[in-house]
Structure formats: C-alpha cells, structure tokens
Amino acid sequence: GVPLAWASYGDGPTTVVLMPAWSIVNSRMWKAQVPYLARHYRVVTFDGRGSGRSGRPREAAAYTDEQYAADTVAVLDDAGVDRAVLVGLSCGASWAIRVAAGHPDRVHGIVALGAACGFPVAQPERDHYVWSVPYATYQGWAKYNKHYWLDGGYEDFVRFFMAEMFPEPHSTKQIEDATAWGLDVEP
C-alpha cells in the first residue's frame, strides 16, 4: 500500500537494480553510476519508502527489512523485470539478500557494497548508544537517537552522518548532495 517511485534507464539484456541504501537518501545517490551502467544494462532505481517521491508511512513499523525487500519485488513486478542483479549499498545489501532468499528465481546475483544493516558487525564507536534512550548530551554517534531527532537534532545528525559516510578529502559535493537528500526526509 506504499506508493513507490521508480525509474528505468537503458535497455541491455540484463537488468541491474540499484537498491535504496536507507530511508535517509533517495535514488539520486546512484546518479554517478546510472549513465555508465545504462550503456550496458537496463538499470532500475527506486526511492525507498520514506524518501524521495515514494510514500512516507508515519509509523515506525512500516520500515522493516521485510517490507523493503517486498518493495523491491513490487518494483520488479511493476517494471516487468523477471530477474535482475541487485546492487545494494549499506542496508540495501541486506534487503537484496532477503529478496534473493525469498525469491531466488528473481535474482541473477547480488553486489553488496559496504553491507551495514542487519548483520551483527561490531561497531565500537556506535555500539554503546541505544536508539530509544534519551541522553544528557548528543555528541558523535549519540546523535543517532530518536529523542535527539524529535527534539530538533535531526538536521545535525544528517550533517554528522554524511560527513562520516564521506570522510575522504574533497568530498564536499557528495556531503552537500547527501545532506540535502537526507533533509528531504522527516525524522
């Protein structure tokens, strides 16, 4: 029941689906990859629920891994794609694996980049912060917090997060673009 905005580029014999990474950014995050890939493949991108031009359910329960995987299958169906290579960055890698596990006949293969969500990987700089616990101060990864976001700290979190995602020197354009996309999403 969530409207999903998707686009298709190119018409190669193999379809590549560039998965959403998280609801904090839309499919424009793939803007540098689409032109090259579309010369060789059919490329499908879509805005994950909660971002871009897709629907934005208000309840947190609408944002489970299973729902993102189901959204991917719905986009495949809507785009008329029988089988595809799924390319997932961050959470998108986890969702691609879920799609392949539930619908192996629909997936040629998976490319997983920086798989970060749904896997028990130790992250010492983040692990001691709890999403739903209020803190006296919000520095570093403590900003990834429900109370901070709802009390007006979401923009600060987005700026912090994107700087962490693009730590290389001269990444200012990537940080600016991703921050703008992240601020297009409500906390």
Going residue by residue through the chain, which has 187 residues, state the pLDDT in tens, using 9 for 90 and above: 899 999 999 999 999 999 999 888 999 999 999 999 999 999 999 999 999 999 999 898 999 999 999 999 999 999 999 999 999 999 999 999 999 999 999 999 999 998 876 666 777 888 889 999 999 999 999 999 999 999 999 999 999 999 999 999 888 999 999 999 999 876 6
- Give the sheet arrangement for strand 15-18, strand by strand: 6-9, 42-46, 15-18, 84-89, 107-113
C-alpha–C-alpha distance, residues 86 and 113, integer Å: 11
C-alpha–C-alpha distance, residues 25 and 182, integer Å: 5
C-alpha–C-alpha distance, residues 100 and 106, integer Å: 7
